[in-house]
Amino acid sequence: MKFPHNDIISLLDERLELNLAESTNQDLVLREIWDASFAESLIDLKLEYGTSAGNEQLRSLLATKLDVHKNDLVITNGAVFGIFLSILCLCKEGDEVLTVQPNFPPTMDLIDGLGFKKKILKLSFEENYQLNEELLFDSISANTKLIILVTPLNPTGTVLEKDQIEDIANRLEEEYPNCTLLVDETYREATYGNHSVYPTCSGLKSNIVTISSLSKCHGTPGLRIGWLCSTNSSFLQDVKTAKMNTVISNSVLDEFVALQVLKRESDIFRTRRIHAAEGLRRMEEWIKRNENWIEWIKPQAGALCCVKLRESAFDEDQISAFYSKTRQAGIQIANGTWFGESHRIFRLGFGYLSIDKLDKSLIKLTEIVSEIVS
Ligand SMILES: Cc1ncc(COP(=O)(O)O)c(C=O)c1O
pLDDT, tens only, 185-232:
999 999 999 999 999 999 999 999 999 999 999 999 999 999 999 999
Residue 322 scores a pLDDT above 80 = yes
Can you tell me the mean pLDDT for 76-91?
A: 98
Whether 87 is in a domain gets the answer yes
**Residues lining ligand 1, judged by CB closer than 6 Å?**
23, 78-80, 104, 150, 154, 184, 186, 213, 215, 221, 226
Query: Which pLDDT score is estimated for 3?
Result: 93
- Quickly state the pLDDT bin for 153 (edges 50, 70, 90): very high
Residue 12 scores a pLDDT above 90 = yes
Query: Does residue 167 sit in the same domain as residue 297?
Result: no
What one-letter code names the amino acid at 116? Answer: F
Q: How many helices (H) and strands (E) does the chain have?
A: 12, 13
Q: β-pairing, 226-229 with 345-349?
A: unpaired
Query: Does residue 301 sit in the same domain as residue 243?
Result: no
Query: Which pLDDT score is estimated for 282?
Result: 98
* Whole-structure pTM value: 0.97
Query: Does residue 245 sit in the same domain as residue 285?
Result: no
CA–centroid distance, residue 37 to ligand 1 (Å) = 31
- Residue 339: give its domain's CATH number: 3.90.1150.10
- Quickly state the pLDDT bin for 62 (edges 50, 70, 90): very high
Q: Hey, which bits of 77-142 come out as E strands? A: 96-101, 117-122
Rounded distance between C-alpha atoms, residue 163 and residue 245, angstroms = 37
CA–centroid distance, residue 99 to ligand 1 (Å) = 15
Domain boundary among 265, 284, 302: 265
Largest CA distance in the chain: 63
- Total residues found in the chain within this entry: 374
Q: Which residues contact 363 (CB under 8 A, 6 or more apart)?
A: none
Query: Does residue 71 sit in the same domain as residue 176?
Result: yes
Query: Does residue 241 sit in the same domain as residue 278?
Result: no
What pLDDT digit, counting tens, does each position of 242-292 carry?
999 999 999 999 999 999 999 999 999 999 999 999 999 999 999 999 999
Residue 374 scores a pLDDT above 90 = no
Domain boundary among 243, 265, 287: 265
Query: Does residue 122 sit in the same domain as residue 88?
Result: yes
What one-letter code names the amino acid at 312? Answer: S
- Quickly state the pLDDT bin for 1 (edges 50, 70, 90): confident
Query: Does residue 45 sit in the same domain as residue 175?
Result: yes
Whether 2 is in a domain gets the answer no
CA–centroid distance, residue 186 to ligand 1 (Å) = 6
- Residue 113: give its domain's CATH number: 3.40.640.10
Rounded distance between C-alpha atoms, residue 112 and residue 106, angstroms = 10
Query: Which pLDDT score is estimated for 8?
Result: 95
Residue 350 scores a pLDDT above 80 = yes
Whether 219 is in a domain gets the answer yes
Query: Does residue 286 sit in the same domain as residue 300?
Result: yes
Residue 238 scores a pLDDT above 80 = yes
- Quickly state the pLDDT bin for 149 (edges 50, 70, 90): very high
Query: Could you give the number of structural domains in the chain?
Result: 2
Query: If 0-12 CB within 10 Å is exposed, 13-18 middle and 19+ buried, where does residue 12 land?
Result: exposed
Query: Does residue 17 sit in the same domain as residue 138?
Result: no
Query: Does residue 242 sit in the same domain as residue 317?
Result: no
Mutational pocket test of ligand 1: of 111, 189, 216, 352, the residue with most ligand atoms within 8 Å of the beta carbon: 216
Whether 1 is in a domain gets the answer no
Calculate the alpha carbon distances from 328 to 114, 324, 335, 352 in Å. 37, 6, 15, 20
Domain assignment of residue 344, given as a range: 7-27+266-369
* Average model confidence (pLDDT) across the chain: 97
Query: Does residue 210 sit in the same domain as residue 92?
Result: yes
Residue 135 scores a pLDDT above 80 = yes
CA–centroid distance, residue 34 to ligand 1 (Å) = 26
Domain boundary among 265, 286, 305: 265
Query: Does residue 272 sit in the same domain as residue 365?
Result: yes
Whether 98 is in a domain gets the answer yes
Percent of the chain clearing pLDDT 70 (strictly above) = 100
Residue 56 scores a pLDDT above 80 = yes
Whether 374 is in a domain gets the answer no
Query: Which pLDDT score is estimated for 52?
Result: 98
